[in-house]
Chain A
Amino acid sequence: MRPFVFERPTNISAAVALVSSFADGRAPTQADVQFIAGGTNLADYMKLGVARPRRLVDLNDLSEPALRQIRISDGTIRFGALVRMGEAADRGDVKRHCPLLAESLKFAASAQIRNMASLAGNVLQRTRCEYFRETSWPCNKRVPGSGCAAMEGLNRQHAVLGTSDACIATYHGDFAQALIALDAVVDVEGRHGTRQIRFAKLHQLPGDTPDVETDLAADEVITAINVPFSEWSRRSRYLKIRDRESYAFALASAAVALDMDGDTVRQARIALGGVATVPWRARLAEEALVGKRLDQSAAETAADAAFAEAKPRRHNEFKVPLGKRTLVRALIETRDMKV
């Protein structure tokens, strides 16, 4: 493992100061500095030589209580950035107001990892693309311009939506699908002060610059995630399909929340996991459902719309039919929920 400086600030402004203190006044990069929370993603990539920050700023000693709290008020659930996945998954009121949020966490990783991993770290987890994980392969995300070994290689895990000619890596997180479906907003703090980012704007499509993954600057720390909820978010669920029953990333998943008027859809929120390069809101599928009676055929029409633009590669063609069926199943199961 490479030598690095390990900082343990005790409040947010000290943390921000540590990531802003670069002599020449230039904006820091991820090679200069990175935050670490649970470390379940970052420490792994540091060991593999994929992430090589010279300075690590540990967030675990930050003393602001709100960072570790889940507060529910006025139609918003506010998750502190350091809340652990396990805690959020088990909270009764989260389960009640937004089953989707709790399920997306419960079906992720293992109990041990959920006890370590923070919610902010979770949404910022990096792709598991096998060629990204190993430094001896060409990878545009790891080394811009070096090529993409996955494009013509083993790409069963890879994305069919939101891909580019430079990168087809999947965004594997589950929680983010629930957050994008529910229009969450992220609070951040950095050397230029605080701001809010719509969750849908947090992650960036790979395009020509797959190395740029989020809208965050290296000096910006996430402090909280705000999720609006209402009566109808109770009718929501997260369906995750994977190779084994537990402890595996999604081959395809669907986050669904339905606002129903009897049998008819007033409004639908749909996000798709395991199939796209970023957390993926399926707006066309949502639109296809509005005002419709939600039956099998309406669900299938919506699923076709969701995958109309899909671009499968050699080994991941199955993700198109699988993704569609996952969505259809999730829609029907959500419709049938007793709330």
Chain B
Amino acid sequence: MNQAAPAPKENMGNPIPRVDAGLKVTGQAGYPADLAVANVAYGVLATSNIAKGRISALRLDKARAMPGVLDIVSVGDMDGVDKPKFGNTGASSIGPLHDRTIFHDGQIIALVVAETFEAAEEGAMQISADYTQETPSASFDSAGAEMEPAAGKSPLFKEDVNAGDFEAAYSTAAVKIDQTYSTPTQHHNPIELFSTTAMWQGDKLTIYEPSQNVTGWKIELARQLNIDPVNVRIVSPYIGGAFGSKGPMTARTAIVAVAARRVRRPVRCVVSRMQAFNTQTYRAETRHRIRIGAGKDGRITAFAHEGWEVTSRPDPYVVGGTSATGRMYDYGSVLTRVSLVHADRNTPGYMRSPPETPYVYALENAMDEMAVALGMDPVQFRRINEPQKEPIGGKPFSSRSLINCYDQAAEAFGWSTRDPAVGSMRDGDWLVGMGCATAIYPTAAAPCAARVRLTADGQVRVQCGSHEIGTGVRTVAAQMAAERLGVDIDKVAVEMGDSALPPAPVSGGSISTASVCSAVLKACEAVREKLFVAAAGNDGPLAGSGNAKLDMTNEKVVTETGKSAKLADVFKAMQIGAIEEYAEFAPNGSSPEALKKLYAGQAEFHGGDQDKDSVKYAFGAEFVEVRINSYTREIRVPRMVGAFAAGRIMNTRTARSQLMGGMIWGIGQALHEATEIDQRHARYVNRDLQDYLVPVNADIKAVDVILVPEVDHEVNPAGVKGLGELGNVGTAAAVASAVYHATGRRIRDLPIRIDDLIT
């Protein structure tokens, strides 16, 4: 065991290295744009440079005349193809080549297909357009932006949650705050660029594209192209950075498929990093007003959280994190309201912890302010307001280890050494600040299917159309099968990332481990059942063991009393070579339609705040130390500690890695990341990694992850709470409170930069 492979504690699995680790670090893992394709032609996008208006003329002649250019798909070339739909699987309802309206900057206006990438790129540069321009609305404060209540506009956000009489409680509270917070626009910049490769064989279409939802995409792409879904296959064996960016399918996929059909060749389109800022989904900017009222004893009596989110003109994308913030503490009364602001921007989409990252940032920064207003230690303030039941529906938590997380993280961090006086801690020329915040993420699961095959020689094959987005889901699925079938993990092969496999839900919302493991578990149980019946049967090698409980270990079926039979012998008795079981898992509370919907690419999520009997969340506590140069004010983060509890931990190595990655991203959200919008033109200006800053190695010093044991049988059969998105919730607020502690400056608008502290 070492730091990367923490020793498992109670209810934790072994830190088995990722089954695909070797392939990844040696460059052999085949990412979709790397997969060799014979006779491939290259596609490059041409995009608009205005944000609002109509194309009056499109000039393609120069591009057509370029040597090597084979074809150009542009506005008007989508006959017989339906427009994309906004929703679970579709990123936006904007069909850029369906009509001449420009909804946002960088909108696709053509795809140039050529013999070489260089010719296609040059062709795309030669395309120009005339526009009838209108003045675009860039964001919240722009003239022409339209505001509406978010509740009911999206199936993901049905209503604003409320409890008790907030106004009355707030007006009489002894101590109160009323503040506004904001988070900036952020863009996905995975190292693996976005890409689509489309290949037709007769009427069969195969797509290689990094995807977090191969089943959903298959159905949606077939709908757009008006073809039978059985003829569509989406292949995405490895994904180099997903975090929501590869969840919804964008308009590009169908456009590349159309191009491949026209040129009768496979077409590969890799989107440049700059174009990805405009053609992919992103996290839109948010604003928050938070009011908290409390008694002098620190007990909160009133909490209000109002949120505003930017979205595109046509689509009501909403994150609505008030569902989590409204249930975080024992508030007494709760008032929440989420509003959407429609502007001339592309439709936003999921980004790691979509609702919680911005909303919990605001809540936790406010909690720290409130602790200061009360003159109370911020950890103690959270302890005082720890709820027995969630305040909205009065339901119990299936499990909640927040205080335990605070205790363990505070101890490891050395919180007791903190002098609470602002600006009191120094190290030479550097001001030292310490802060903390809560992390929360809803625990959900969705229906999932899996096929498991065991052969007489102990080889296991697991098939599931889920997606290895870097979380290690292949590895934990292998671990689950190895454990239940009593074989070494080296004997388990896991196939994923292909819509031809048994369907799995979108790999989003941190549901994959729970959903996939529950389905694999179910299939393994069925395999075991068949083996046990045969082993204990009249002709079986364990005949006569009666009703004794059987188990599998070391490639044997074993009894409680110590008798055992080799797998090979059981198979021999059965006179077969393999057992294969197909299992469908549906979480508690699933509708009768749930499995049908899974095959239709519309997996139902259950858990979180949706269940009748209890609410289900994973929690964590994060502590951060910052150092700020007393003179030039640059901000550095020498260390952070996070303690997290998330039910059964399948693999301590992959779990730690997810949580650590989240905390590191949290540093980026606190101090670096922001897409800059030129408000005059509603255009992004820092569309590359030179100006869109993310932390580099030198910014990340000590990151300590503590896995807190927790047992929760209620969440799902595997007992697993998702933790992929938990780590970066709270980090930014912890940094903001540490900055306050060091300097006395309360920064409420992210990212926190020198600009905020120098004057």
Contact = CB atoms under 8 A, between A and B. Distances in A.
A242 B632 CA distance: 10
Contacts of B422: none
A244 B758 contact: no
Contact of B685 (A131, A241, A328): A131
Residue from A2, A130, A317 having most chain B Cβ neighbours under 10 A = A130
B547 interface: no
Given A128-B690, A130-B685, A154-B685, A244 B759 contact: no
B696 A245 contact: yes
B597 interface: no
Given A153-B680, A251-B754, 10 more contacts: A1-B122, A130-B691, A134-B685, A153-B685, A241-B632, A243-B671, A243-B753, A244-B699, A245-B699, A318-B758
Interface residues of B, number: 34
Contacts of B185: none
B313 interface: no
A328 B758 CA distance: 14
Interface in B200-257: none
B contact patch SS: loop
Interface string A146-184: 000100111011000000000000000000000000000
Contact of B672 (A149, A157, A241, A243): A243
A128 B685 CA distance: 12
A49 interface: yes
B686 A245 contact: no
Nearest to A252: B632
A244 B696 contact: yes
A133 B690 CA distance: 11
Nearest to A249: B690
Contact of B634 (A128, A149, A153, A241): A241
Given A241-B632, A244-B696, A128 B691 contact: yes
A243 B672 CA distance: 7
B631 A329 contact: yes
B404 interface: no
Contacts of A104: none
Contacts of B396: none
A106 to B, nearest CB: 12
A328 B122 contact: no
B584 interface: no
A318 B754 contact: yes
Interface stretch (A265-273, A285-293, A319-327): A319-327
B523 to A, nearest CB: 47
A327 to B, nearest CB: 10
B696 A247 contact: yes
A248 interface: yes
Interface in B522-544: none
B122 A322 contact: no
A112 interface: no
B758 A245 contact: no
A262 B758 CA distance: 32
Nearest to A110: B696
B636 interface: yes
A136 interface: yes
Given A131-B685, A154-B685, A49 B125 contact: yes
Contacts of B686: 130, 154
Interface string A278-321: 00000000000000000000000000000000000000011001
Interface string B667-702: 000011000101010000111101101011111000
A3 B126 CA distance: 13
Contacts of A196: none
A318 B672 CA distance: 17
A325 B632 contact: yes
Contact of A326 (B632, B671, B696): B632
Nearest to A248: B693
A321 B632 CA distance: 9
B49 interface: yes
A194 interface: no
B315 interface: no
A157 B690 CA distance: 12
30 contacts: A3-B122, A128-B690, A130-B676, A130-B686, A130-B691, A133-B688, A134-B274, A156-B755, A241-B754, A243-B672, A243-B754, A244-B696, A245-B698, A246-B696, A246-B697, A246-B699, A247-B696, A247-B698, A248-B693, A251-B754, A317-B759, A318-B755, A318-B759, A321-B758, A322-B754, A322-B758, A325-B632, A328-B631, A329-B629, A329-B632
B118 interface: yes
Given A154-B678, A325-B758, A244 B695 contact: yes
5 nearest A-B pairs in the assembled complex, by CB-CB distance: A246-B698, A136-B49, A245-B698, A318-B755, A130-B685
B633 interface: yes
Interface string B622-642: 000000010111101000000
A134 B684 CA distance: 11
Contacts of A49: 125
A247 B754 CA distance: 17
Interface in B142-195: none
A328 B687 CA distance: 34
Contacts of B693: 243-244, 248
Nearest to A241: B632
Contacts of A248: 693
A324 B252 CA distance: 49
A251 B758 CA distance: 12
A40 to B, nearest CB: 12
Nearest to B50: A136
Nearest to A149: B678
B43 to A, nearest CB: 16
Given A1-B122, A130-B686, A153-B680, A322 B696 contact: no
A245 B691 CA distance: 15
A1 B118 CA distance: 6
B604 interface: no
Contacts of A252: 632
B13 to A, nearest CB: 36
Contacts of B759: 317-318, 321
A90 B693 CA distance: 27
A329 B629 CA distance: 10
B121 interface: yes
Residue from B678, B687, B695 having most chain A Cβ neighbours under 10 A = B678
Contacts of B632: 241, 252, 322, 325-326, 329
B35 to A, nearest CB: 25
